[in-house]
């Protein structure tokens, strides 16, 4: 950096930091959004599997499994 252009260099440095901060904030926000949707999707799928198993047991009529004695 040249000594004669201190103001220009200071403005460019601050602008670069602002741009980097905005990009980092956007990436963090996008990452948190993706994680949130993955968690919600996992809860929905887990709930569906649970309800499917419960309905299947209800139709089959077996609340408990019998103990098989040999």
For residue 39, is it within any domain?
yes
Write the DSSP symbol of residue 61.
Answer: T
For residue 68, is it within any domain?
no
**Residue with the larger pLDDT of the pair 34 and 59:** 34
Count of the separate structural domains present in the chain: 1
For residue 34, is it within any domain?
yes
C-alpha pair distances (Å), 1 with each of 17, 19, 30, 33: 17, 20, 35, 40
Tens digits of residue pLDDT in 36-65? 999 999 999 999 999 998 888 888 776 566
For residue 30, is it within any domain?
yes
For residue 13, is it within any domain?
yes
For residue 12, is it within any domain?
yes
C-alpha pair distances (Å), 26 with each of 15, 37, 59, 69: 17, 17, 49, 61
What domain range is 43 assigned to? Answer: 3-60
Residues 6+ apart with CB under 8 A from 57: 63
**Residue with the larger pLDDT of the pair 63 and 17:** 17
């Amino acid at each position: 950096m040249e000594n004669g252009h201190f103001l220009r260099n200071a403005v460019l440095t601050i602008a670069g930091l602002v741009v980097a901060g905005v990009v980092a904030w956007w990436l963090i926000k996008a990452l948190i959004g993706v994680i949130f949707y993955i968690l919600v999707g996992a809860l929905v799928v887990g709930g569906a599997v649970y309800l499917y198993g419960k309905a299947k047991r209800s139709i089959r009529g077996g609340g408990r499994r019998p103990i098989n004695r040999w």
